[in-house]
Structure 1
Amino acid sequence: MDYNALADLLFPGLDEEAAIAKIEADYPPRSLPEGAKVTRMAPSPTGFMHLGNLFGAIADERLAHQSGGVFYLRIEDTDQKREVPGAVETILKVFSDYELPFDEGATADGDNGAYGPYRQRQREGIYRAYAKRLVRQGKAYPCFCTEEELAAIREKQAAEKANFGYYGSWAVHRDTPLSEVESRVAAGEPFVLRFRSEGDPGRRTKFTDLVRGTMELPENDQDVVLLKSDGIPTYHFAHVVDDHLMGTTHVVRGEEWLATLPIHIQLFGAMGWKMPKYVHTAQLMKLENGNKRKLSKRKDPELALDFYQRQGYCVAAVKEYLMTLLNSNFEDWRLANPDAPLDKFPFNTKKMGVSGALFDIEKLGDVSKNVISRMSAAEVADRLTAWAREYDPDFCALLERDPAYTEAILSIGRGGKKPRKDIAVWSGAKEYLSFFFDELFTCDGAYPENVSAADAKRILDEYAAIYDPADDSGVWFDRIKALAERLGYAANMKDYKQNPSAYRGSVADVSMVLRVAVTGRQNSPDMYEIMRLLGRERVLRRLGSAAENLN
C-alpha cells in the first residue's frame, strides 16, 4: 500500500506537517510551577448534568488548584444527535452554582484562555491534520462499511461465538487496495477513518492508575473509528489530541471508562505522546433491598444535579458530602478542623476508594444540617432567601418583608458548642419557621395527655395575665414556675420525679401547653426567644385563640 498516496487521496490539499507545526506552536507547553496539575471537565452538551459530573469535577478542581495548576472546561460536542440547545449554559450555571471556578475554557459566548477553541466541533481542522499523519504512517485507513454490513458482521460473530467488533479478519476494509479506495472515493461513497491496531488481547500491558495502582490490561485489537463520515472525531481520538495540546496532566473520569483505556494507551503510543495520568473514580452506588446498584437516571431523581437545587440542599453541604465519598480521611479531618473551609483539606488520590461509593441521601441531610448550623444567621438568611426567590416566591416575600426579623429568627440557637440543627434543606425551612409568620401559623400540636382541657385553659388564661415581654429569661421562667405551683404542678422537676402522685404534673407540662399555643407544635427552639421576637400582641393573641378553642 502506498500510504502517501492514500493520505493525499483522503485529505486532498492538506499539508498536514505544516499544519501540525503551526498547531504545536499555537499550543506551547504551559508555564506552571513544578508539580502543578492541569485538569479538565469535559462534559457532552446533552442538557443533563448529574451527580457523577460533580463528583469528578470536585476531584478535578482540587487536584488543579491545590497544586497551583489549571482547571479548564472543554465541551465534547462531537455527537450532534445528543446535543441540546442551551446545554452549555446549563453546564456553566451548574458549576457556577457549585462554586467550582474554571480558570479557562468554554464560555456562554465563546472562549476564555489561550488553549482553545474549547468546543471540539470547532477543532475539526486540528483532528484532520493529525488523522492524515496517521494515514501517511500506515496507522489509519478508510472503512466503507454500511450499517447493514456492520450488522451482518456482528450476526456472523454471534453465530461463530467470536468476540464482537471490527478487528483482524473481521476488519474487511483494513487492506483494501488503493485502486478500490480511489474508485469508491471518486464515486462519493461515505467512509469513516479507522485506527489500524497492532494489538493482541493475548498480550498484557502494565498501567498505573492513581486510584487503583498498577494494573495489567489486555492490549486493544479493535480498529476503532477515529473520524466519522462527517469528518468529526470520536471521543477516543479527540480527547487524545486535545489532552496533548491543552497540556492536561491528570484525567479524572468514572471507572466505566476503564474498559476503553487500552484504546487510549494505544492511541497515545501511536501519536508518540506522553499520556496524562488517569484517575478512575468509583461509581456512585445506592443501597436497595440490601444490595448495591449504580445510581440510575431513570430510577433515581437524586442523580440529577437540579434535584438538589430544587430541594434546596446547601451547595457547601453537597460538596462536603461528596468529599466524604472521594477521600476516606475527610471525615476525620473535618472533626479536627470543624470551621476550616473545604479548600484547606489536602485532597489525595491515594485516599480514593476503588469499590463503588455508596451514596446515602440521609447522610447528606445530616451533613447539610451540620454545615448550615455552622453558618451565621446572616448567611443562612441570604441563602434561604435566594433559594425561595426562585422556588417559593410567596415564602420569599415573607422573608424579605422584614429582613432584620428574618435574621433574628435564624439567630435563635445559632452559635456556641451545640448549635441547633433544625434545617437540612432550604425547602424544609418554611415548615420549621412557619409559626413566626401569621400567614403560615397553624396549631397542630397536642397538649400533654396528663393536662386536662380545663387545666390547659387555666394555664393559658392565667399566663396571659402575667406575661411581660420586658422580663429577662430568668424572671420569665420564674413566672411560669410560680404559675405551675399555683395550679398544682411541680415547679421543680426533681420534686416531681421524687413524688409524682403529689402533683397534677410538672412545670414541663405547663411549659408545653404554652409552647403548643404559641408555636403550634411540641418541638421548637427556645420559647423565651420566640416570644420576644413574636412580640406581646401576637403572643397574647395566640394564647387567647388557643384558650378559646378549648371552650
Structure 2
Amino acid sequence: MKPMEYKTAAELIWPGALPTPLELEEQYPLRKPASGAIVTRFAPSPTGFLHLGGLFTAFIAGRLAAQTGGRFYLRIEDTDQKREVEGGTEAILEALRAFGVTFDEGTGEAGERGSYGPYKQSRRREIYTAYAKDLMERGLAYPCFCTEEKLAAMRAEQEAQGLTTGYYGKWAVHRDLPLAEVRERIEQGQPYTVRLRSPGDPARSVIVEDLVKGTLTLPENHQDIVLLKADGLPTYHLAHAVDDHLMRTTHVIRGDEWLSSLPVHLQLWEVLGFEAPVYAHLAPILKQQGASKRKLSKRKDPEAAVSYYAERGVPPEAVLEYLLQLANWTFEDWCREHPDAPLTDFALEPGRLNRSGALFDGAKLEDTAKEVVARMTAEEVYNAALAWGRRFHPAFAGWLEADPGYAQRILAIGRGGTKPRKDIAKWSELPAYIGFFYEEPEEPARTKRIQARMRLEQARDIVRGYLAAYDEGEAAEEWFGTIRGLAAELGYADSPKTYKKNPAGFNGHTGDVAMVLRLVLTGREQTPDLYEICSILGGSAVRRRLAGWLEVSR
C-alpha cells in the first residue's frame, strides 16, 4: 500500500465509528497522585490456578504502591479465550482474598470499582480496535492473511536455514500488499490478523533502566508482531500497552519471563505515542532439582499453586512473610530488630529485590509458619483453624464449634511468654495434634508404644500408682511433686543423669514414668505439657482413661 492508502485500508477493515485516541485520553484523564506515589497493577490471565509466583508479584506490586501512598488495581487479562478456564477469574479472586492481597480498584467479586475500567480486557475490545485503526491509518499496522499452516512452514524454513524465526523482512510477505489485493481478500472473507509495521532494526539496541535488574541493553525489536488476532481480540502486547497507559500505570511490576518481550513493549509505547512506565522485572522462584535449579513449575510442582497452602492450612501471613524473605535479603535482619512490628512496616526497596532468583525451601517456609503461629493468641489460632476446618475438614470444625471455650483452652497451652511453643506450622496438623482431647487413644497402638519402652507390668504399676495418687485439684508444682514421689516409690531415678550413673540400680527415671502416663492418656509420645493436658481433660476423663487402659492391657 502507498502512504495515501493507509486510511482507506483502515476504513475498509473498520468502517464504523470508533473513539479516537484523543477522545480516549479525555475519557481516562491523568491521575493526580501525591508526590512520590506510584500506580501499580496485578494483571493475571484466568487460564488456571494462581501460581505462587503470581501471588509474589501481586504482593510486591501492592506493597510498593501502598508504601508510597499510591494506587494498586486488579486487571483481568482474559483475551486468550482458547486457554481460559471456566471459573478461573473467581478462583484468582478467592486466592488473592485468602492471602490478604487487596486492591484499591479493579475487578472484584461485587463487580468493579474505580474510574479507569472496565478492568476486564474482554470488555475493552473497542478501545484496542481504536488504537489498531489509528496505527493502520498512520502506516504502522497492516492486515496479514497468513494461515497457521503458512506460518508453520515459514518457521520450519527459517529454522532449517539457521535464521531467527518470526515475521520480519522478506518473511513479512503481506507487509506491502496492494490496497486492491487487501480489498479483494477481505471481500472474499479471508481471515486476517493485524500486525505492527515495526520500524525496528536488529542492529540497534535499546537501553532501559529496570528497577530490579538495573541498566539493560537489549536488541531493538524488528518483528512485525500481531496486534489483533483473527477473532478481533488483542494480543497481550497491544492490550497491556493500551491498558497500562489509559489506566495511568506508573510502574509495571512483573516476572522476568517478560524480559525478552521488553523491546517489543517499549517499541509499542513509542509508536502509540505513549510515555513508557517504569518497569521492574522480578526474578523467578526456583526449585532445586538434583545439582541444578529450575523455575517452580505449574505442571511439576504442587507447591506452585497457592491453593496448596490454603488446603494445608498454612497461615497466609506465613506465606507472605516467606515471600518477603525471598524478595529482599534484608527482611530477616529487619524482623530480628522489629519482632513485634507488622509486615507493612517493612519498606521494600526495588534495588534490593533479588535479581537472579530465590530458591524455594519448604523447610524454611515451615519454620517461618511455626514462628508466625507462635506469635498468635489462642483466639486467633482458633478462628483461623475453624475457618480452615469448615472448608477442608468439617469433622475437625465440629470439635471446635462444639465448645469454643474448651478448644481455646487446648490451643492456649504453651502460648505466650518468652518461649512460646513452636510446634504447629499448619492447621492441617491440628486434628491429629489435639485429637486426643476429643477421642480416646487407639488400641493396640497405644499399648505397643508402651511395650517398646518397658515391660507391660511395670507400666501397669505406674498407672495404678498414679490413679491412686491423682488429685485433680493440685497446682502444677504439687502435681510434679506427685509424679516425682511416685517415681521414687516405684524405683525410678529422679533424673536421666542420676539414672545414667547407675542404670542397674533403677527401673528408669522420672521421665519414663511421665511418658507412660502421656501415652496412656494421649496415645502420643510428643504432646504439650502433661499437667495442662490433665487439667483440660478434667478429673473424670483422666480417671476413665487410666482405668480403661488397665482393663484393655490385661
For normalisation by structure 1, the TM-score amounts to 0.96
Q: 2-side partners of 1:532 and 1:159: how far apart?
A: 79
Q: 2:441, 2:521 within 8 Å by CA — same for their partners in 1?
A: no
Q: Which residue of 2 aligns with 1:39?
A: 40
Are residue 476 (structure 1) and residue 479 (structure 2) matched?
yes
**Which is further off, 331-340 or 470-479?**
331-340
- Aligned-pair CA distance for 1:51: 0.8
Pick aligned residue for 2:8 from 5, 8, 23: 5
Q: 2-side partners of 1:107 and 1:491: how far apart?
A: 64
Pick aligned residue for 2:469 from 466, 470, 476: 466
- Aligned-pair CA distance for 1:503: 2.3
Where do residues 262-341 of structure 1 align in structure 2 (5 Å cutoff)?
A: 262-341=263-342
* CA deviation vs aligned residue, 1:444-474 (integer Å, no higher than 9, x gap): 3723866432221111101101100101011
Q: 1-side partners of 2:161 and 2:392: how far apart?
A: 58
Pick aligned residue for 1:530 from 519, 528, 533: 533
Which residue identity lines up with residue 150 of structure 1 in the other structure? Answer: L
Q: 2:441, 2:523 within 8 Å by CA — same for their partners in 1?
A: no
**Which is further off, 3-12 or 385-394?**
3-12
Are residue 178 (structure 1) and residue 175 (structure 2) matched?
no
Q: 2:205, 2:219 within 8 Å by CA — same for their partners in 1?
A: yes
Secondary structure at the counterpart of residue 447 of structure 1:
helix
- Aligned-pair CA distance for 1:541: 1.5
Q: Tell me: CA distance 1:426–1:492, structure 2 relative to 1, closer, same or farther (3 Å).
A: closer
- Aligned-pair CA distance for 1:369: 0.9
- Aligned-pair CA distance for 1:492: 4.9
Q: 1:252, 1:278 within 8 Å by CA — same for their partners in 2?
A: yes
**Which is further off, 532-541 or 441-450?**
441-450
Where do residues 136-535 of structure 1 align in structure 2 (5 Å cutoff)?
A: 136-438=137-439, 444=446, 446-447=449-450, 451-492=454-495, 495-535=498-538
* CA deviation vs aligned residue, 1:275-318 (integer Å, no higher than 9, x gap): 11111111121112232122222221111121111111111111
Which residue identity lines up with residue 160 of structure 2 in the other structure? Answer: A
Q: 2:441, 2:522 within 8 Å by CA — same for their partners in 1?
A: no
- Aligned-pair CA distance for 1:168: 0.7
| Structure 1 gap segments, 5+ residues each | none
Q: Tell me: CA distance 1:64–1:440, structure 2 relative to 1, closer, same or farther (3 Å).
A: farther
The alignment yields a C-alpha RMSD, in angstroms, of 1.7
Secondary structure at the counterpart of residue 490 of structure 1:
coil
Q: 2-side partners of 1:90 and 1:210: how far apart?
A: 30
Q: 1-side partners of 2:116 and 2:382: how far apart?
A: 41
Are residue 14 (structure 1) and residue 12 (structure 2) matched?
no
Q: 1:45, 1:87 within 8 Å by CA — same for their partners in 2?
A: yes
Q: 1:71, 1:104 within 8 Å by CA — same for their partners in 2?
A: yes
Q: 1-side partners of 2:430 and 2:289: how far apart?
A: 29
Which residue identity lines up with residue 74 of structure 1 in the other structure? Answer: R
Q: Tell me: CA distance 1:272–1:405, structure 2 relative to 1, closer, same or farther (3 Å).
A: same
Which residue identity lines up with residue 257 of structure 2 in the other structure? Answer: E
Q: 2:205, 2:220 within 8 Å by CA — same for their partners in 1?
A: yes
Q: Tell me: CA distance 1:15–1:424, structure 2 relative to 1, closer, same or farther (3 Å).
A: closer
Q: 1-side partners of 2:489 and 2:188: how far apart?
A: 106
Q: 2-side partners of 1:439 and 1:395: how far apart?
A: 15
Q: Tell me: CA distance 1:549–1:204, structure 2 relative to 1, closer, same or farther (3 Å).
A: same
Q: Tell me: CA distance 1:492–1:221, structure 2 relative to 1, closer, same or farther (3 Å).
A: closer
- Aligned-pair CA distance for 1:547: 2.7
- Aligned-pair CA distance for 1:529: 0.6
Q: 2:192, 2:229 within 8 Å by CA — same for their partners in 1?
A: yes
**Which is further off, 497-506 or 527-536?**
497-506
Secondary structure at the counterpart of residue 82 of structure 1:
coil
Q: 2-side partners of 1:311 and 1:281: how far apart?
A: 27
Q: 1-side partners of 2:540 and 2:359: how far apart?
A: 51
Q: 2-side partners of 1:537 and 1:137: how far apart?
A: 88
Q: 1:450, 1:505 within 8 Å by CA — same for their partners in 2?
A: no
- Aligned-pair CA distance for 1:262: 0.6
Q: 1:448, 1:513 within 8 Å by CA — same for their partners in 2?
A: no
| Structure 2 gap segments, 5+ residues each | none
Q: Tell me: CA distance 1:335–1:351, structure 2 relative to 1, closer, same or farther (3 Å).
A: same
Which residue identity lines up with residue 76 of structure 1 in the other structure? Answer: E
Q: 2-side partners of 1:157 and 1:492: how far apart?
A: 80
* CA deviation vs aligned residue, 1:517-550 (integer Å, no higher than 9, x gap): 1121221111111100001111112212233344
Q: Tell me: CA distance 1:546–1:22, structure 2 relative to 1, closer, same or farther (3 Å).
A: same
* CA deviation vs aligned residue, 1:105-151 (integer Å, no higher than 9, x gap): 01235321100011111111111221111112111111111112212
Which residue identity lines up with residue 514 of structure 1 in the other structure? Answer: L
Pick aligned residue for 2:544 from 517, 525, 541: 541
Q: 2-side partners of 1:12 and 1:516: how far apart?
A: 82
- Aligned-pair CA distance for 1:226: 0.7
Q: Tell me: CA distance 1:231–1:164, structure 2 relative to 1, closer, same or farther (3 Å).
A: same
Secondary structure at the counterpart of residue 57 of structure 1:
helix
Q: 1:450, 1:504 within 8 Å by CA — same for their partners in 2?
A: no
Q: Which residue of 1 aligns with 2:89?
A: 88
Q: Tell me: CA distance 1:170–1:450, structure 2 relative to 1, closer, same or farther (3 Å).
A: closer
- Aligned-pair CA distance for 1:494: 5.3
Number of aligned residue pairs: give it.
549
Where do residues 3-152 of structure 1 align in structure 2 (5 Å cutoff)?
A: 3-14=6-17, 19-108=20-109, 110-152=111-153
Q: 1:435, 1:441 within 8 Å by CA — same for their partners in 2?
A: no
Q: 2-side partners of 1:383 and 1:450: how far apart?
A: 37
Identity %: 51
Which residue identity lines up with residue 452 of structure 1 in the other structure? Answer: R
- Aligned-pair CA distance for 1:199: 1.2
**Which is further off, 71-80 or 493-502?**
493-502
**Which is further off, 333-342 or 204-213?**
333-342
Which residue identity lines up with residue 540 of structure 1 in the other structure? Answer: R
- Aligned-pair CA distance for 1:224: 0.3
Which residue identity lines up with residue 210 of structure 1 in the other structure? Answer: L
**Which is further off, 59-68 or 537-546?**
537-546
Q: 2:18, 2:126 within 8 Å by CA — same for their partners in 1?
A: no
Q: Tell me: CA distance 1:63–1:440, structure 2 relative to 1, closer, same or farther (3 Å).
A: farther
Which residue identity lines up with residue 47 of structure 2 in the other structure? Answer: T
* CA deviation vs aligned residue, 1:467-522 (integer Å, no higher than 9, x gap): 00101011111111111111112235554454444322221221122111112122
Q: Tell me: CA distance 1:231–1:497, structure 2 relative to 1, closer, same or farther (3 Å).
A: same
Which residue identity lines up with residue 12 of structure 1 in the other structure? Answer: P
- Aligned-pair CA distance for 1:188: 2.4
